[in-house]
Structure 1
Amino acid sequence: MPRMKGGELIAQYLVQEKVPYIFGICGHGNVGILDALYDVRDRLQLISPRHEQCAGHMADAYFRVKHQPVATLTSTGPGSANMVMSCATALSDSSAFLCITSNVPTSQHNRAPFQELYTHNQADFAQVMRPVVKRAFQPSRVDMLPLALRQAMDTMVTGRPGPVNLDIPYNVYQEEADVELPPASHLQRAHRPGASEADLALALDLLAAAHQPVLFIGHGATLSEAGPEVTALAEQLGVPVITSPNGMGCIRGDHPLALGFIGRNGAYPANEAGRRADLVITLGTRFDDRSSSSWHEGYSWNFPKTRLVHVDIDPQELGRNYAPDLGVIADIQVFMRQLLKALAQRPEIRAARYAPWLEQVRGWQAQWEAFVRPHFGDSTTPLRPEFVVDTLQKVLPDDVILALDSGVHHNWFMQFWRSLRPQSMLNSWGYSSMGFGVCGVMGAQLAAPGRPCVAVVGDGGFTMAPYVLCTAVEHNLPVVWIVWNNFAWGAIRDLQYGLFDGREIGTAFYKGQSGERYNPDFAAWARACGADGYTVTRPQDLGATVQQALKNQRPCVIDVHVDADVRPPSTGTWQLPPIPYKEPAYGKPFKA
Structure 2
Amino acid sequence: MAIMKGGELIAQYLVQEKVPYIFGICGHGNVGILDALYDVKDQLQLISPRHEQCAGHMADAYFRVKHKPVATLTSTGPGSANMVMSCATALSDSSAFLCITSNVPTSQHNRAPFQELYKHNQADFAQVMRPVVKRAFQPSRVDMLPLALRQAMDTMVTGRPGPVNLDIPYNVYQEEADVELPASSHIHRMHRPGASDLDVAATLDLLASARQPVIFIGHGATLSEAGPEITELAERLQIPVITSPNGMGAIPGDHPLALGFIGRNGAYPANEAGRRADLVITLGTRFDDRSSSSWHEGYSWNFPKTKLIHVDIDPQELGRNYAPTLGIIADIQVFVRQLLNALPERADIVAVNHAPWVAQVQGWQRQWETFVRPHFEDSTSPLRPEFVVGTLQKILPDDVILALDSGVHHNWFMQFWQAKRPQSMLNSWGYSSMGFGVCGVMGAQLAAPDRPCVAVVGDGGFTMAPYVLCTAVEYNLPVVWIVWNNFAWGAIRDLQYGLFNGREIGTAFYKGQSGERYNPDFAAWARACGADGYTVTRPQDLAMAVEQALKNKKPCVIDVHVDADVRPPSTGTWQLPPTPYKEPVYGQPWKP
Give the TM-score category using the shorter length: over 0.9
> What pairs up with 1:14-163 in 2 under 5 angstroms?
14-163=14-163
Q: Residues of 2 paired with 1:497 and 1:363: CA distance?
A: 33
- Match for residue 353 of structure 1? 353
SS in 1 for 2:347: coil
- Match for residue 190 of structure 1? 190
- Match for residue 523 of structure 1? 523
1:141–1:172 CA contact under 8 A, matched in 2? yes
1:483–1:558 CA contact under 8 A, matched in 2? yes
Deviation at 1:188, TM superposition (A): 4.1
Per-residue Cα deviation, 1:523-556 (whole angstroms, up to 9, x for no partner) = 0000000000000000000001100000000000
Per-residue Cα deviation, 1:457-500 (whole angstroms, up to 9, x for no partner) = 00000000000000000000000000000000000000111111
- Match for residue 433 of structure 2? 433
Deviation at 1:353, TM superposition (A): 1.7
1:262–1:270 CA contact under 8 A, matched in 2? yes
2:49–2:471 CA contact under 8 A, matched in 1? yes
Alignment identity in percent? 89
Q: Residues of 2 paired with 1:497 and 1:346: CA distance?
A: 54
Q: Which runs of 5+ in 1 are unaligned?
A: none
The one-letter code matched in structure 2 to 1:59 is A
Q: Residues of 1 paired with 2:518 and 2:351: CA distance?
A: 56
1:405–1:457 CA contact under 8 A, matched in 2? yes
SS in 2 for 1:349: helix
- Match for residue 472 of structure 1? 472
> What pairs up with 1:238-277 in 2 under 5 angstroms?
238-277=238-277
Distance 1:187 1:529, change over 3 A: closer
- Match for residue 420 of structure 1? 420
1:32–1:174 CA contact under 8 A, matched in 2? yes
1:157–1:188 CA contact under 8 A, matched in 2? no
> What pairs up with 1:271-420 in 2 under 5 angstroms?
271-350=271-350, 352-420=352-420
Deviation at 1:390, TM superposition (A): 0.2
The one-letter code matched in structure 1 to 2:503 is R
The one-letter code matched in structure 1 to 2:459 is D
- Match for residue 166 of structure 1? 166
SS in 2 for 1:143: helix
Moved over 6 A (4+): none
Per-residue Cα deviation, 1:396-446 (whole angstroms, up to 9, x for no partner) = 000000000000000000000000000000000000000000000000000
- Which stretch of the first structure deviates more once superposed, 182-191 or 151-160? 182-191
2:158–2:186 CA contact under 8 A, matched in 1? no
The one-letter code matched in structure 2 to 1:218 is G
Per-residue Cα deviation, 1:110-135 (whole angstroms, up to 9, x for no partner) = 00000000011000000000000000
1:158–1:189 CA contact under 8 A, matched in 2? no
Deviation at 1:346, TM superposition (A): 0.7
Distance 1:351 1:103, change over 3 A: farther
The one-letter code matched in structure 1 to 2:507 is T
1:236–1:351 CA contact under 8 A, matched in 2? no
| Structure 1 position 235 matched with structure 2 position 235 | yes
Distance 1:312 1:383, change over 3 A: same
The one-letter code matched in structure 2 to 1:210 is A
Deviation at 1:186, TM superposition (A): 3.3
Deviation at 1:501, TM superposition (A): 0.9
The one-letter code matched in structure 1 to 2:154 is D
Q: Residues of 2 paired with 1:493 and 1:248: CA distance?
A: 28
Deviation at 1:560, TM superposition (A): 0.1
Per-residue Cα deviation, 1:489-522 (whole angstroms, up to 9, x for no partner) = 0000001111111111100000011100000000
Q: Residues of 2 paired with 1:506 and 1:206: CA distance?
A: 51
Q: Residues of 2 paired with 1:261 and 1:66: CA distance?
A: 24
- Match for residue 580 of structure 1? 580
Deviation at 1:187, TM superposition (A): 5.4
SS in 2 for 1:353: coil
SS in 2 for 1:589: coil
SS in 1 for 2:349: coil
* RMSD (Å) for aligned C-alpha atoms: 0.6
SS in 2 for 1:282: strand
- Match for residue 10 of structure 1? 10
Per-residue Cα deviation, 1:34-93 (whole angstroms, up to 9, x for no partner) = 110000000000010000000000000000000000000000000000000000000000
SS in 2 for 1:250: coil
Q: Residues of 2 paired with 1:370 and 1:190: CA distance?
A: 44
Q: Residues of 1 paired with 2:189 and 2:410: CA distance?
A: 31
Q: Residues of 2 paired with 1:425 and 1:255: CA distance?
A: 16
SS in 1 for 2:28: coil
Deviation at 1:350, TM superposition (A): 2.6
Question: Given the two structures, how large is their TM-score scaled by the length of structure 1?
Answer: 1.00
1:65–1:447 CA contact under 8 A, matched in 2? yes
Per-residue Cα deviation, 1:289-313 (whole angstroms, up to 9, x for no partner) = 0000000000000000000000000
- Match for residue 202 of structure 1? 202
